Structures are given as structure tokens and as C-alpha cells.
């Protein structure tokens, strides 16, 4: 179960850094934002400054079998599934609203839908592994 947490962290960080590093090292780093109408990419900031560090700390704590880390992994898996469904939906409707936008490609809809399904499998396994006697006692 923990391996999926580290895979999600690694792939998300890689996906962002592959875009950020070349832009920062180029002569015109603002080209990363061309066509977006934004001064920064808020999702990038959230992922790299808040979510990925939080998920990493939870994954390490889960690896050490600390209960709060295991809870954090469950939250991470749930958030990842919901986030992927949201991104797939956003890509679908965004592409319909502005077919020429490089930020809303409908071709990414099935990719994010598939990732949501793939992450849902370990999430279901995680939820099934919760001891029912603990829930009944609480």
C-alpha cells in the first residue's frame, strides 16, 4: 500500500519539475504562463509547497507504521482519486468551452480518469483493511 503513496508523490513532483526547471533555466521563464492569463500557477504552488510535502511526511510516518501516517495515506489516496476525477472533468468541459486552449486538452480526460481508477484500487484495499472492531468500539 505504501508504494502507491511514494509513486504518487514521485510522479506528481516529476510532472511539475519537468515543466518548471527548463522554464526557470531559460531566458524567458514567463513562457510557462503564456496563454494562461495568470501571474503564477496556483496548483503548482499548492502541490509543491503544501500537498506533496504533507503527503511525503505522512508516507514516511506510514512506512514507520505510525497511526497518523496511515491515516494520512488514506487521506492522500482519497484526495488523489477525487483530484483526478476533477481534473478529467475540468479537461473535458474546458476543452468544450475553448477547444484551442493548450491548458484544457480533452485528450487528457481518459488519462486522468484511468489514473483515478488505478488509485481507487489501493484505496479500496486500504479501506477494507481497516479493522471493523475498532470502528464498532468508537
Query: Cell numbers of 70, please?
Result: 496511515
Does residue 64 sit within a domain?
yes
Query: Cell numbers of 120, please?
Result: 481507487
Q: What is the pLDDT of residue 138?
A: 53
Residue 81 has a CB neighbour count (10 Å cut-off) of 20
List, in order, residues 6 or more apart from 98 with CB less than 8 Å away. Answer: 104
Find, among 49, 124, 30, the residue nearest to 81 by Cα: 124
Q: What is the pLDDT of residue 24?
A: 86
Give the domain extent around 14.
2-32+43-129
Does residue 97 sit within a domain?
yes
Instruction: Please state the domain count of the chain.
Output: 1
Whether the CA torsion 52, 56, 57, 58 is positive or negative: it is: positive
- List C-alpha distances in Å: 81 to 37, 77, 101, 126, 131: 28, 6, 25, 13, 22
Does residue 38 sit within a domain?
no
Q: What is the pLDDT along the chain (138 residues), one digit of tens a residue?
A: 678 889 999 999 999 899 889 888 888 887 777 777 778 888 888 999 999 999 999 999 989 989 899 899 999 999 999 999 999 999 899 888 888 777 777 888 999 999 999 999 999 998 998 876 555 555
List, in order, residues 6 or more apart from 82 with CB less than 8 Å away. Answer: none
- List C-alpha distances in Å: 45 to 13, 37, 42, 50, 51: 11, 16, 5, 8, 9
pTM: predicted TM-score of the whole model, two decimal places: 0.79
Amino acid at each position: 500500500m505504501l508504494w502507491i503513496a511514494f509513486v504518487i508523490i514521485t510522479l506528481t513532483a516529476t510532472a511539475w519539475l519537468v515543466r518548471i526547471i527548463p522554464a526557470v533555466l531559460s531566458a524567458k521563464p514567463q513562457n510557462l504562463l503564456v496563454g494562461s492569463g495568470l501571474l503564477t500557477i496556483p496548483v503548482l504552488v499548492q502541490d509543491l509547497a503544501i500537498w506533496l510535502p504533507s503527503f511525503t511526511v505522512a508516507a514516511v510516518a506510514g512506512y514507520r507504521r505510525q497511526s497518523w501516517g496511515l491515516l494520512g495515506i488514506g487521506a492522500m489516496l482519497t484526495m488523489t482519486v477525487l483530484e483526478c476525477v476533477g481534473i478529467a472533468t475540468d479537461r473535458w468541459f474546458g476543452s468544450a468551452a475553448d477547444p484551442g486552449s493548450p491548458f484544457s486538452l480533452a485528450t487528457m480526460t481518459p488519462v486522468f480518469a484511468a489514473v483515478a481508477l488505478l488509485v481507487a484500487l489501493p484505496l479500496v484495499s486500504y479501506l477494507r483493511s481497516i479493522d471493523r472492531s475498532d470502528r464498532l468500539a468508537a
